Amino acid sequence: MQFVIKKFTELNTEELYDILALRSEIFVVEQQCIYQDLDQKDKEAHHIIGTEDQEIVGYARVLSPGTIYTEHTAIGRVLVSERHRKKNYGYLVMEQAIELCQKQYPAYPIKISAQSHLERFYSNLKFRATGKRYLEDGIPHQEMIYSPSL
């Protein structure tokens, strides 16, 4: 998988369409969750786009401190297309996102809102649960903080 990182204004219309289509396919249709994906935060985000054979197969967005969390940078909308999930691409996408956070916002820790069933996946990437569990759009979530010393 090859990666490119772009700010919103650098995305072309085809890339934006493909990203939004994939997010809708996974977060709305596959997970049967009706929610407002277009939340205006995309305009402030760095978009990490993983491609294979010129097709977007992995994605995440990185948000600066103050966009979601006051004292943390955030990684969200992490996904891998269904037919590529057995290739460990989720780890590659997250490694890119963590590296970007550390490069762009080195003074800020990273916080995520993880779907609870993915807690082990994120733990493998050195995120630790904060204890705060909650429902977001009807799906159980776990707040987690990146702890590289784990």
Domains held by the chain: number? 1
Residue 39 identity = D
Record the pTM.
Answer: 0.94
CATH number at residue 47: 3.40.630.30
pLDDT, tens digit (0-9, with 9 covering 90-100), for 40-99: 999 999 999 999 999 999 999 999 999 999 999 999 999 999 999 999 999 999 999 999
pLDDT, tens digit (0-9, with 9 covering 90-100), for 87-112: 999 999 999 999 999 999 999 999 99
List Cβ neighbours of 2 (8 Å cut-off, separation of 6 or more). Answer: 50, 51, 52
Residue 97 identity = A
**Structural domain for 34, as ranges:** 2-146
- Counted residue by residue, the chain has a size of 150
Average pLDDT, the chain: 95
